[in-house]
Amino acid sequence: MNRFFFIAGCIAALAAVALGAFAAHGLAETLVVERLEVFRTGVTYQFYHAFALIITALVAYVLPQRWVNISGWLFLGGIVLFSGSLYALALREWIGFPVNWLGPVTPIGGLLFICGWGTLAWAAFPEKQNNEIGEEG
């Protein structure tokens, strides 16, 4: 799982660079400012959480796997739901079908980010490590 989250984080960061460049050079002239800012917010949060995935992969070597893995999945889900919905909403005219229903999806992705950070912190509590070591041993 460590390798998976590391690779996912690298791919998410790569995509964020490409999407950021697309926003700066391809969308700046075509989108209204408000929609361009929505797109850029998606890129920013994708970048933050790409790094979170990489950190998760590295932290998994020193903290209990179960909780670290859960946080990785939450970060990945947050990227898809939060950033993905913002991209779709910003580009709604280009997509060709209604995406307004995605508006309520964005906060769910944000909640996944929050839960991911909370779960990663939870994994660091020493009593969690002792309980899981005892369960495995």
Check the CA dihedral 121-63-68-13 and report its sign: positive
pTM above 0.85, yes or no: yes
Kindly indicate the confidence band of residue 65, based on its pLDDT and cuts at 50, 70 and 90: confident
Give the pLDDT mean for 113-135. 77
Distance between CA atoms of 11 and 17, rounded to whole angstroms?
10
pLDDT digits (tens, 9 = 90+) for 15-45: 999 999 999 998 988 889 999 999 999 999 9
Q: What is the pLDDT of residue 131?
A: 56
Q: Name which residue leads in pLDDT, 41 or 126.
A: 41
Distance between CA atoms of 109 and 77, rounded to whole angstroms?
7
Q: What is the pLDDT of residue 137?
A: 38
Residues across the chain? 137
pLDDT digits (tens, 9 = 90+) for 84-96: 999 999 998 888 7
Residue ranges in the chain assigned as alpha helix (H): 2-22, 33-59, 65-78, 84-90, 92-95, 105-123, 126-136
